[in-house]
Structure 1
Amino acid sequence: MKMQYYSASGYEKLRRMGLKLPAERMVRRWVAETEVNVGFCEHVFAALKQAMLDIPPEERCCALKWDEMSLMEREEYDVKTDVIEGFEDLGPLGRTERRANHAFVFCLNGLHAGNQWRTMLAYFLPCNNVSGSDIVRLVRQCIGKISEAGADLKMTVCDQGTSNGKAYSELGVSEDRPHFFHEGKKIIALFDFPHAVKNVLGLFRKWGKISAADKVVAYSDFTNTFRSDLGCATSNLLGHITEAHMWPNAFERMNVSRAFQVFSKRFASAMELARHSRAVRSETIPEIARFCRSMDKIIDACNSSSIFNENPAKRPLSEENPQVEQILVEFLSWAPDMKVCAKGRWKRPASFAGMVQTVRGILMLYRQLREQFPGFKLCTALCNQDSVEQLFSRFRGRGGSNPNPTCRMYLKNISERFQQFAFYNP
């Protein structure tokens, strides 16, 4: 079934080559046998409970993540269930007559670097966005079910959307207090770090000036260096940088990798070279070069995905890699004072506070895990939303490019996903 899910044409080609596989229609019948209703999927929690019995306690530590993707508004009749699909449905919170245009998903990820398991727990079909109070109610219900399944939930992760910010505020989470309590248990609450970096660059680009570590840096140094390197025949340090990095449109602003490439030590070296060669005359280049190198370090430290890496900053948080913890501590020494100059006034946007909250929460999480399980290795990439984004990209890629599926298409993909990947390793 996994082969047929990833490529129906490849599956059929293997059958024509003589490999004895069930017909595609039979596979679809097997998938249809599993009824996946909107809300919490009980058979997934049953599979999770069984899986938790076979792994040691340190590998049961996990993170709850949620996100939304847009859907096409369209009503379709399901003959099997005698239900018109396409209306808002929040599972235990009820169904309304409004058209659903989003899908809201809960996923669970293991935090141990040696066993990065993941599973999808629930989905809902809201109209526009789920409100902050509804998110709190759903999150608390989900945490209860996770605890009953035997998993050890340590943290939650979401993006910095308005509803998520309100939900965290209702839970008592703040920049200085990146956690909340559920039935006496402490849960670390984080925002998605890559999206926070993207938002910081967006505000920097919009307002032009940022104050960091008591130094004012200007975005014009980025653009002037880019123009200088573009017309220089002897330097190609910024050959990977395009106009989409400097002056992106609304769609290009959503690209996280471009933000990482701008806040990089390579760009810092290009700015220093341009100043040394007098191609760019700016007194703030030394400060912005230091700012870029600091951001490059924290980006690497918050995106480690494997136990072994040539870059010391991209190794997991562990007793073997004290330099990673030191990078997080150094970031927290100057980042809480970071501000942006908006319309002549220095302000501290929520994106800046969210990034500090996330780094502080990662550090708190690691120290808690290290105390509970000596020798624990935490890959910090498991503390972001990459797994949920990858899940959405697979949904959009079913049947070719389908960026906005209907509710019925989405339900079909969900059924196939639950049938084949109730509990799996990436």
Structure 2
Amino acid sequence: MSLPSIRILKDVLSAIPFECGMIKLVLEHLKLQADKMEELDRCCTLIFDEVSLSRGFYYESHRQKICGFGDLGTLGQNEKMLRTMLVFMVKGIKKSYKMPVSFFFTKDTIKTSALKDLIIDAIEQLQGIGLCIVATVCDQGATNRAAVTALTREHTDDKPSPYHFVVNGERVYIIFDVAHLLKNTRNALHCHIQLYYYTVIFNLRLMN
């Protein structure tokens, strides 16, 4: 069986409109799936993370566009060369499914205010197609922590909590990535054990 050439694959991909921001085709697909799901199957988490990219510009001939600049979708573009990509993905809790729903390009780490707006916008659009966002999941990066902390203060209900915020009357709980929590715990223990060891050695030398 012969496989399609690289050129044919590129032509097929170029016909699919992917722009920075919420991916409309993905939202339409998820809406069709959500309409068939039971209530508990619609419960999911919103995962977001940044990945590093190679710096540089390239020209998309089919769109007559130069790519490589920062782009935050509805929040606007800039002329700075991109270095990271922020990706949002939904993951089912009871029913097993996961799907990237949006992406954005930034020069460095995204600003806290912009990240807050993107989180709220993503949750509102996903709620609009019938999904129930139960929690957000991210690592313990400084920007992520600042954004979710600000959300717990600005989007709250009659029972404020540092562990959840509210969007359209629905609570969204904050969960940090377990793998990163374990790694940070390991690093903290490793650092303090080394410090304790050096302190003991130093005191023994003073005593001698």
Fold-level similarity (TM above 0.5): yes
Q: Shorter-chain TM-score: which interval?
A: 0.7 to 0.9
Question: What is the letter of the counterpart of residue 122 of structure 2?
Answer: C
Other-structure match for 2:180: 195
Other-structure match for 1:185: 170
Question: What is the letter of the counterpart of residue 60 of structure 2?
Answer: D
Other-structure match for 2:85: 103
**Which one of 5, 11, 15 corresponds to residue 33 of structure 1?**
15
Distance 2:197 2:16 in 1: 53
Distance 2:136 2:75 in 1: 21
1:87 paired to 2:72: no
Measure how far apart 1:22 and its partner are: 5.2
| Matched-pair contact (CA < 8 Å) for 1:205–1:219 | no
Aligned length: 191
Measure how far apart 1:85 and its partner are: 0.8
Measure how far apart 1:53 and its partner are: 1.3
Measure how far apart 1:209 and its partner are: 7.9
Distance 2:64 2:75 in 1: 21
Distance 1:22 1:209 in 2: 56
Unaligned segments of structure 1, at least 5 residues: 1-13, 16-20, 211-217, 221-426
Distance 2:49 2:21 in 1: 14
Question: What is the letter of the counterpart of residue 80 of structure 1?
Answer: H
Distance 1:148 1:172 in 2: 22
Measure how far apart 1:89 and its partner are: 0.7
Q: Secondary structure at the match of 1:73?
A: coil
Measure how far apart 1:149 and its partner are: 0.8
1:52 paired to 2:34: yes
1:125 paired to 2:110: no
Q: Secondary structure at the match of 2:152?
A: coil
What do residues 192-245 of structure 1 show as CA deviations (whole Å, max 9, x unaligned)? Answer: 1110110111111112289xxxxxxx789xxxxxxxxxxxxxxxxxxxxxxxxx
What do residues 128-165 of structure 1 show as CA deviations (whole Å, max 9, x unaligned)? Answer: 01111111100111011101111111111110001001
1:150 paired to 2:150: no
Counterparts in 2 of 1:39-78, with a 5 A limit? 39-78=21-60
CA-based RMSD: 2.0
Task: Please identify which structure carries the higher helix content.
Answer: 1
Measure how far apart 1:65 and its partner are: 0.5
Normalized against structure 1, the TM-score is what? 0.43
Counterparts in 2 of 1:9-20, with a 5 A limit? 14-15=1-2
Q: Identity of aligned pairs, percent?
A: 27
Other-structure match for 2:203: none
What do residues 316-364 of structure 1 show as CA deviations (whole Å, max 9, x unaligned)? Answer: xxxxxxxxxxxxxxxxxxxxxxxxxxxxxxxxxxxxxxxxxxxxxxxxx
Question: What is the letter of the counterpart of residue 136 of structure 2?
Answer: T
Measure how far apart 1:183 and its partner are: 2.0
| Matched-pair contact (CA < 8 Å) for 1:204–1:219 | no
Distance 2:4 2:147 in 1: 47
Distance 2:4 2:186 in 1: 51
Question: What is the letter of the counterpart of residue 40 of structure 1?
Answer: M
Query: Which structure has the bigger radius of gyration?
Result: 1
| Matched-pair contact (CA < 8 Å) for 2:14–2:62 | no
Distance 1:219 1:62 in 2: 45
